[in-house]
Amino acid sequence: MKRRALHTSGKRFLILAAGLLLTSAPRAGDYPVAGVNPHERLAGAPVVEGVTKGPRWYEQALTGLEPPYPSSFRFLEDQ
């Protein structure tokens, strides 16, 4: 009898948890859908026009390293 009572309460918990997840999930209409026409950009989508890599950018990119930097980190010039 106890075993059945635990099983029933477990079921109730799962149903409650599923209900909470479904009601708190964002609806598809709240966000723009990307990927429907992958060859087109969404209207108003941000465009990266350029990146300025100053000393601060390199400092952050090389965090944890000390000079002399390994030549393998030259890829940062093309980032």
Structure tokens at 60: 């952050």
pLDDT of residue 36: 75
Going by pLDDT thresholds of 50, 70 and 90, the confidence category of residue 2 is low
User: Which residues does 36 contact at the CB level (< 8 Å), separation at least 6?
Assistant: none
Q: Which is it for the CA torsion 59, 62, 63, 68, positive or negative? A: negative
How many CB atoms lie under 10 A from the CB of residue 76? 13
Of the candidates 26, 45, 25, the one whose C-alpha atom is nearest the C-alpha of residue 34 is 45
35-78 per-position pLDDT tens digit: 677 788 777 888 888 888 899 999 999 999 998 988 998 999 88
The amino acid that residue 41 corresponds to is R
Please give the residue that has the higher pLDDT: either 10 or 47.
Answer: 47
Rounded to two decimals, what is the model's pTM?
0.39
pLDDT of residue 43: 79
The amino acid that residue 13 corresponds to is F
